[in-house]
Amino acid sequence: MQIPKDPFILLSYINTKLRDEYSSLEDLCDSLDIDQKQLEDTLGSLGYAYSKDNNSFVPY
């Protein structure tokens, strides 16, 4: 499956997947074959970081 390229749409897509389907970022990345570091860097450029407590990307 192709993930969205637009960073803002990607943020929404990833947070929805984390909320509805995956218990952790690691599980999501493994399942969708996504480079976790690259994903975190992309969303980090928007001012978001992964929160294990919330299991979502939140503003920092």
What pLDDT does residue 2 have?
A: 86
The pTM of this model reads: 0.94
Helix axes 7-20, 36-44, angle to 10 degrees: 120
pLDDT per residue as tens, the chain (60 positions): 689 999 999 999 999 999 999 999 999 999 999 999 999 999 999 999 999 999 999 999
CB 36 within 8 A of CB 1: no
Q: What is the DSSP string of 23-51?
A: SSHHHHHHHHT--HHHHHHHHHTTTEEEE
Number of H helices, E strands in the chain: 3, 2
